[in-house]
Amino acid sequence: MKRGNKRKQTSICYLLHPENLQKKIDSYGYSFSMGRYVMFLFTALAGAVGCGILFSLHWYFILILAVVCLGNLPFLILDGYKQMYEHKCFLDVSDYMEQILYSFRMNPKIVNALKDTSSLFETGRMHNAICEAVDYIEQGKYQWDLYGEALELIEREYPANRLPSIHEYLRMVESNGGSCKEAIDLLLQDKAVWADNVLLLQEDKKAARTKVIFSLAVTMILAVVFHSVYRSMPAQYTIVEHPVTQAATVLYLLLNILIFRKANKEIARSWLIQENKEQEKLSGYYRMVMEFDEKKERNKSLILGGSLCLFGLGVWGLGHPFGALLAAGAGGILLNQHKMGYRLAYDRVVKEINRVFPSWLMEMALLMQGNNVQVSIEKTIEHAPAVLKEELQRLSDSLKSRPDAIEPYLDFLKMFQLSSVQSSMKMLYAISESGSGDAQSQIQILVQRNSKMLDKSEKLSNEKSLAGINSIFYLPQITVSFQTMVNMVVFMVVFLGQLKI
């Protein structure tokens, strides 16, 4: 029901009403006057009419263009404010994580650290969330876990990936006591890597949007130049008024509006949640690699590829060499399709392991401050990434039967032959076999080795996030090519028609 209401509040019918748009912007903490809205409306309308006149469109096409412009305007305005809102949320979470860690290191009590941190935020959403958590703790009424439920109030408001790990560690120290200086230094280092890479991602996305706008401008100029050439032709050859040309031009302009809106939407996304919609696909790739039967898959490829090659021979015998060549080429590809499919899946899984393994290792380092290695591994399984979950479960099961053996550690992700993973697992085995004093020093060594991997994994995450907006850069070139090709075909038809006359 809540999700349905959220969809309704971002629907075109809802946002077209100025008061609803104003309410939505107010919910982000910004004010928006009706005067500015009217100014934006006139600017969008003038732009639509100007483009229509520039491309010699009929009035009804100009009307369609104007309606689409005005329909997309509320979303463009909203995305502009949402971008500022999401950036403010990121800064609030970044400051909160840093301050609560410093405060907790000086006074290892959660409620005192929260009160100290709340003074950093005099007003606003973060201040309210912290005060709500403090009130919950001081009231002392809870269902299962007082501190967990109180801190969850902040996590619900700010669903940052790093926040639960920090809160989990604070709760562990609150319950068990002990020194927390080294672990907090580790968390501060992790937070700094995350914050720096998010800021870098923000700059990269803004630069990518600028490139998209530049691409739109250049292709628009190119389209205007071609239109001017067609308009300057003699009346019997002109295609400016041709229905197909008019339709292709208005479609080109409409697609450009949608491209611009898509580029703006990309930089208005949350910086706290890394959307990963490929977990099921990655699980499929992982299972494909793990369950790959080369002999069985090779036989399938031989049947498919061999059949197509035989078909090509038959086509050759019928006197169609070009068709036979195509069939033979396709058959050759099918003969090796099992190798290509396996390699694609293997590379995707390896890239994902390199991206998520350092974060898992960081979680392990925190859990090992109050647990042994085996228990820490068990605790990470539930929320582990798709490509690690099965391997972690297998590792945990093996350690239950052979807790002192090194083989379960060495078998972890063994088939992918990743040296960074193997060396880290050897270190975990060494920690499990050492005493508590040696374990802390070895954990610090493990963390130091992991810091570079963590930075690299954040950059891999940034690359995934940038892929969407970077691909948008090429869309204006596709749309202008489409319009140009349609116009050329129409011109050839008109020109040849005049020659026949």
Q: Evaluate whether 133 touches 153 at the Cβ level (below 8 Å).
A: yes
CA 221 to chain centre: 32
Q: Provide the pLDDT for residue 59.
A: 92
Q: What sign does the dihedral 163-168-174-176 (CA atoms) show?
A: negative
**281/287 Cα distance (integer angstroms):** 10
DSSP string, 247-279: HHHHHHHHHHHHHHHHHHHHTTS-SSS---TTH
- CA pseudo-torsion sign 374, 377, 382, 387: negative
pLDDT score at 102: 93
Give a yes or no: residue 29 inside a domain.
yes
| Residue 328: its H or E element | helix 321-335
User: What's the average model confidence in pLDDT over 383-412?
Assistant: 89
pTM attached to this predicted model: 0.77
348: in domain:
no
DSSP 116-148: HHHTT-SSSHHHHHHHHHHHHHHH---SS-HHH
User: Has residue 3 got a pLDDT over 60?
Assistant: no
Three-state SS letters, 45-84: HHHHHHHHHHCCCCHHHHHHHHHHHHHHHHHHHHHHHHHH
Mean pLDDT over residues 164-192, rounded?
Answer: 83
Average pLDDT over residues 303-316: 68
**Is 139 domain-assigned?**
yes
Report the pLDDT averaged over residues 206-214: 93
For 311-339, the pLDDT digits (tens) are 667 767 667 676 667 766 676 666 666 66
Measured CA to CA, the distance from residue 370 to residue 363 in angstroms comes to: 12
Quick check: 388 and 353 in contact, CB under 8 A? yes
For residue 371, name the pLDDT band (cuts at 50, 70, 90): confident
> Which H helix or E strand runs over 398?
helix 386-401
The reported pLDDT for the residue numbered 352 is 85
Encoded tokens for 176 = 């068990």
Compute the distance between CA of residue 249 and CA of residue 53 in angstroms, rounded to an integer: 12
Asked whether 157 and 88 are in contact (CB, 8 A), the reply is: no
| 182 domain-assigned | no
Whole-number Å distance between alpha carbons of 419 and 238: 66
Helices 18-27 and 34-54: angle between axes, nearest 10 degrees: 120
The whole-angstrom separation of Cα 501 and Cα 355 is: 67
Q: Does 40 map to a domain?
A: yes
pLDDT of residue 114: 94
Structure tokens at 180: 């927390």
pLDDT band at 384 (very low <50, low <70, confident <90, very high): confident
Domain range for 10:
1-177
What is the residue-averaged pLDDT of the chain? 84
Q: What percent of the chain shows pLDDT beyond 90?
A: 34
Classified as helix, coil or strand, 417 is coil
382, burial (CB in 10 Å: exposed 0-12, middle 13-18, buried 19+): exposed
Quick one: tokens of 238? 């002109």
Helix%, strand%, coil% for the chain, nearest 5: 80, 0, 20
Q: Give the pLDDT band (50/70/90) at residue 440.
A: low
Backbone torsions φ then ψ of 240, nearest 5 degrees = -60, -40
Q: Give CA–CA dist 249/61, Å, rounded.
A: 9
In tens, the pLDDT along 116-145 reads: 999 999 888 999 999 999 999 999 887 888
Structural domain count, the chain: 1
> Tokens 């611009």 — which residue?
260
